A and B are shown apart, each in its own frame.
Chain A
Amino acid sequence: MSQRIAVHDPRGFAPKVTGKQLAPRLEGFDGKTVYLVDCLFDNSEVFMRELQDWFGKNLPAVKTPIIKPRESWVDDPGMRAKVVAEGDAAILGVGL
């Protein structure tokens, strides 16, 4: 039988994960503002326009403004603040 040897674990140190709760959900869509957050990937703008059009035709009582961050893959606190201040919900996409 081969000799048993002890070796190091090669993995780094993972950060501690703290649980976060989801926000309360909408009780209905009428009169609500659902932001469509275009994440700027190629063609996501076209996707969001189609989604906006779908809401306009099928749930016309919902406002669905499209909003974009200033840069791809970079947090935009100003955009987030606007969604929180003026929105009731958000659809983010398309994350590739």
Chain B
Amino acid sequence: MSLEAAGIPTVAVHTHVFARLARATALANGMPTARQAYVPQPLVDRSPAQLRAYIEGPDPISKRPFIQEIIEALSGPLCDEDRKGLSFERIHPRLLEPDSEENLQQFFMEQRWTDFLPVVLPTEARVAAMLKGTNHPAEKIVGRLSPTNFRESWEFDVEKVAVNAVMAGARPEYFPVILAMASSGLTARNSSTTSFAGIGVVNGPIRNEIGMNGSIGALGPYNHANTTIGRAWNLLSQNLQGGSVPGESYMGSLGNMSSYSATFPENEERSPWEPLHVRYGFKRTDSAVTVFRGGRYMQAGYGPRATWQEKFKRALTAGSARQSPLIVVDPIVARLFTELGFDSKQKLIDWVAENVTIPAREYWDDQWVQTLVHPLAVAGVEPYATNLKAAPDDSLEMYRPEEINIVVTGGETQGAWRIYEGSRLKDCTISIDAWR
């Protein structure tokens, strides 16, 4: 649309499943009649001949020839709406019209403000009580969120976060954690077609102050704080960013079960290693939350047993080279690793970075490596440019050390470990103390 603004007539081509999203994005940019044309989904893995058939066939939305849509989009006459665009404001009243609890529950669900589980209705009294969980004023701006980084961002204040925290069933003492997650700029309801979820890891004294569970069942629905903090991050993400509606503002093809709630604390007391937040510049006595984008793949194992290296390599190469691993281990596993000489997380991270490799032909055949990494390699950005020169059977390291994270949690009933997809984006370890 910036090309249109610069005087260049433009038409954007999408696959047909993105029609609603394309129209909504054009509207949100004040250019509702921006020209769009559509080809069938999928585009990926189609041959040149199949793509040529798309070009010479009908636009699946308008049912007219695709090429006719293109030609008319660039040369057809403009109407008044084309020449003016559309200006508007979307101001919502702070309070909804009073109604019965039953009707309001139904209304919230119909508006897609819930996760289709019942919510705690955010009455004025409940929101006021939640606001007592922080010293920050209700009207203080916390941040902005958007479903993806190229769509409009919506802004929100402390009170709006409190409203969503109430809906999730959280208690006021959890509120600083939820505010920190909200301020991260990372949505737990990313609209990527690849179906990211958000994962939160809490460190520092607040874990025990609010009774989080880093012991038996830490990753499951067995603790009020773990569950409702994670749910609050998801609800606030969808509601404060302008929605997470399938086909319109959410395009994850498969969706993600972790999008209900996926937040847990590190079991620092039983870990032989430094806590996660210390890696990112915090003191042990600080409270902080690290938010990850991922949750699409998960591998599990036990040990480390005699063949742990082979198991780790298999588990980690099953991931995606572009998406980093979050290695979650029970304290038993962490201590066994120290007996093998890994007396710090960093030593195990370095082992993973060095030993988890795949052939170059597999690395470059990954869809998202092609989309996201290949352009950087072509542009000469290292280490991708060097990797691009590798022979097909040369081994390439899948992950860089700085992309790999390890967290210790669990209740020592089993020497169990998991490997989740979990990319920590820049500056996504946030002080909770700053939001008390």
Interface string of A1-42 (1 = CB under 8 A from B): 111111111111111111111111111110000100000111
In the assembled complex, the CB of A36 is this many whole angstroms from the nearest CB of chain B, namely: 10
**Given B22, B75, B93, which contacts A27 in the complex, CB threshold below 8 Å?**
B75
Cα–Cα, bound, A91→B242 (Å) = 28
Chain B residue contacts of A72, Cβ below 8 A: 371-372, 375
Beta-carbon nearest neighbor of B88 in chain A: A17
Chain B residue contacts of A18, Cβ below 8 A: 30, 85, 87
A5 and B78: CB pair below 8 A? Answer: no
Known: A3-B100, A17-B29, A20-B29. A43 touches B43 (CB 8 A): yes
B33 and A22: CB pair below 8 A? Answer: yes
Beta-carbon nearest neighbor of B152 in chain A: A15
Cα–Cα, bound, A20→B3 (Å) = 11
A12 and B156: CB pair below 8 A? Answer: yes
- Find residues 28-82 in chain A having any chain B CB closer than 8 Å to their own CB: 28-29, 34, 40-44, 46-47, 49-51, 53-54, 58, 68-73, 75, 80
Main secondary structure of the interface of A (DSSP, over half): loop
Known: A72-B372, A90-B8. A9 touches B93 (CB 8 A): yes
Chain A residue contacts of B391, Cβ below 8 A: none
**Given A14, A23, A40, A41, which contacts B90 in the complex, CB threshold below 8 Å?**
A14
B1 and A20: CB pair below 8 A? Answer: yes
A50 and B55: CB pair below 8 A? Answer: yes
Which of B116-124, B214-222, B353-361, B425-433 lies on the face that meets chain A?
B116-124
Cα–Cα, bound, A94→B76 (Å) = 22
Cβ of B288 within 8 Å of any chain A Cβ, yes or no, is: no
Cα–Cα, bound, A29→B72 (Å) = 11
B9 and A26: CB pair below 8 A? Answer: yes
Cβ of B382 within 8 Å of any chain A Cβ, yes or no, is: no
Known: A5-B121, A6-B95, A8-B127. A20 touches B4 (CB 8 A): yes
Chain B residue contacts of A75, Cβ below 8 A: 2
**Given A26, A71, A91, which contacts B13 in the complex, CB threshold below 8 Å?**
A91
B375 and A68: CB pair below 8 A? Answer: yes
Cα–Cα, bound, A27→B8 (Å) = 13
A42 and B8: CB pair below 8 A? Answer: no
Cβ of B94 within 8 Å of any chain A Cβ, yes or no, is: yes
Cβ of B350 within 8 Å of any chain A Cβ, yes or no, is: no
A25 and B8: CB pair below 8 A? Answer: no
Cβ of B63 within 8 Å of any chain A Cβ, yes or no, is: no
**Given A20, A42, A84, which contacts B44 in the complex, CB threshold below 8 Å?**
A42
Chain B residue contacts of A23, Cβ below 8 A: 3-10
Beta-carbon nearest neighbor of B89 in chain A: A16
B43 and A94: CB pair below 8 A? Answer: yes
Known: A24-B78, A26-B75, A28-B75. A15 touches B370 (CB 8 A): no
Which of B160-168, B268-276, B324-332 lies on the face that meets chain A?
B160-168
Interface string of B69-86 (1 = CB under 8 A from A): 011001111100011111
Cα–Cα, bound, A18→B28 (Å) = 9
Chain B residue contacts of A17, Cβ below 8 A: 27-30, 86-90
Cβ of B435 within 8 Å of any chain A Cβ, yes or no, is: no
In the assembled complex, the CB of A58 is this many whole angstroms from the nearest CB of chain B, namely: 8
Chain B residue contacts of A49, Cβ below 8 A: 48
Cα–Cα, bound, A54→B108 (Å) = 50
Interface string of B128-166 (1 = CB under 8 A from A): 000000000000000001001110111111011001100
Chain B residue contacts of A24, Cβ below 8 A: 7, 9, 78
In the assembled complex, the CB of B383 is this many whole angstroms from the nearest CB of chain A, namely: 16
Chain A residue contacts of B92, Cβ below 8 A: 9, 11
Chain A residue contacts of B344, Cβ below 8 A: none
Cα–Cα, bound, A69→B2 (Å) = 14
Binding site for A on B (CB under 8 A): 1-15, 18, 22, 27-31, 33-35, 39, 43-46, 48, 51-52, 54-56, 67, 70-71, 74-78, 82-90, 92-104, 108, 113, 121-124, 127, 145, 148-150, 152-157, 159-160, 163-164, 167, 193, 235, 239-242, 251, 367, 370-372, 374-376, 379
Binding site for B on A (CB under 8 A): 1-29, 34, 40-44, 46-47, 49-51, 53-54, 58, 68-73, 75, 80, 83-84, 87-96
Q: What 7 A-B pairs are tightest by C-beta distance, nearest first? A: A19-B85, A93-B13, A2-B100, A12-B240, A12-B154, A14-B90, A12-B156
